[in-house]
Amino acid sequence: MPCIGGMRILFITLAVFLAVVSTDARSAERPPQFVAIAFDNCTELERWKELSDFAAAMNKGGDRLHFTFFVSGINFIADADRNSYSSPMGRGVSRINFGGTLADVRRRIDFADDLVRHGHEIASHAVGHFSGKGWPAETWRKEFGAFADVLRHAARNNAIDPADMPDLPARATGFRAPYLATSPGLYATLKEFGFRYDTSGDSLPDAWPEKTDGIWRFNLARLKLHRSARSALSMDYNFFVLQSGAITDPRRFEFFRDQILQTYLDYFRANYSGNRAPLHIGHHFFDYQGGAYKEALKSFAREVCGLAEVRCVTYSKLADYMDGLSADQIAAFQGGDFPKLVEPGADVARVPANRSAEAH
Ligand SMILES: [Zn+2]
């Protein structure tokens, strides 16, 4: 009998041991390197076209790159129909321009529609580009209500026959605040309107996302500029301010472009061979510094998107992935508790450390 009891204890011990090992094995699996590239405002029609074409070329031989577009709802209301927008500051009031002519609005809707059908994401940058710093939940509610209305009733708001104009994608589940200006009232409201994630915050470059109050926080990263002690948030406008004091200087275009490309590659290499925290890069449709940042971003995407273990995806896809992880797995990833690619393998070696941006 003692022998059978001993066997039983041995079996139980073994079962517990195996359970622990298999849990470890699961958390020890190396996560993919996510790269999330997003744009704010999304006004300029030539940029809608340029980015649609760029993504289509990147995805020709298979899915390599999908963008998230945080659109300002105002882009989808023609100047003439400005009074269809009831803003927190009054009817027909916005901090940025309305959408232009009806034809401009129509073209923007067609681009957005086509991009969504090709796997890109339309998310929210609110409507009138106001700073929501200090806004109570009630004001956010008004603005989110107006955004939902813009998505659902683009045709009606622009006083045209719905049969003549497609509506925008029905619902946005991601948000980035204008000026990244937030308030406690924002986070109380996001869930109410069906949002899954917010991208208005900032973190260290190797921070894995956290879910707070049911909302994933996909924060921009504070990046050290390549070969510089200075740092900025991972956004084109912030680089523009840091590199040049927001003054366009065509003589230094190549320097600015290459420094940001190398900054992005530093960020990528550190995370790819480190704890694999997702990368967050935020740009605008406006060509700051004569397009230096746009060129850097395109070169970066060409270099890394499509490499083994790299997923250049929309924020919704990143949210799907994060939803599938346990808190223990996220903690293990944060701690880098998995076999890393310590030696830059063939994939990372393909990323040249000192190459200038390609001219296109
Ligand atoms: Zn903005």
244-280 pLDDT per residue, tens: 999 999 999 999 999 999 999 999 999 999 999 999 9
Q: Which two tokens stand for residue 198?
A: 């917010």
CA neighbours within 13 Å on the CB side: how many for 267? Answer: 32
Q: Which two tokens stand for residue 238?
A: 């912030």
- Is 14 within a domain? no
Of 167, 154, 106, the residue nearest 127 (C-alpha): 154
Mean predicted confidence (pLDDT) in 7-21: 44
Of 142, 80, 71, 143, the residue nearest 108 (C-alpha): 71
Which residue's structure tokens are 């260290």? 204
User: Residues 256, 181: one domain?
Assistant: no
Q: Which positions ≥6 away from 314 have C-beta within 8 Å?
A: 36, 66, 67, 68, 119, 120, 121
Report CA(311)–ligand 1 centroid distance (Å).
Answer: 25
Report CA(179)–ligand 1 centroid distance (Å).
Answer: 6
User: Residues 188, 214: one domain?
Assistant: no
User: Residues 234, 259: one domain?
Assistant: yes
User: Residues 318, 350: one domain?
Assistant: yes
Q: Domain of 53?
A: 33-66+201-360
CA neighbours within 13 Å on the CB side: how many for 41? Answer: 22
Q: How far, in Å, CA of 153 to CA of 78, rounded?
A: 13
Q: How far, in Å, CA of 299 to CA of 13, rounded?
A: 54
pLDDT for residue 19 is more than 50: no
Report CA(281)–ligand 1 centroid distance (Å).
Answer: 14
User: Residues 262, 149: one domain?
Assistant: no
Q: What is the DSSP letter of 357?
A: P
Q: Which of 169, 185, 200 is the last residue of a domain?
A: 200
User: Residues 216, 322: one domain?
Assistant: yes
pLDDT for residue 137 is more than 80: yes
Report CA(80)–ligand 1 centroid distance (Å).
Answer: 23
Of 18, 32, 27, the residue nearest 325 (C-alpha): 27
User: Residues 98, 192: one domain?
Assistant: yes
Report CA(124)–ligand 1 centroid distance (Å).
Answer: 10
Report CA(127)–ligand 1 centroid distance (Å).
Answer: 10
Using one digit for the tens of pLDDT, what is the confidence trace for 327-359?
Answer: 999 999 999 999 998 655 545 545 544 333 333
If one counts the domains in the chain, the total is 2
Answer for the pair 339, 273: CB distance below 8 angstroms, yes or no. no
- Residues pairing with 71 in the sheet: 41, 124
pTM over the 0.75 mark = yes
- Residues pairing with 93 in the sheet: none
Q: How far, in Å, CA of 209 to CA of 34, rounded?
A: 11
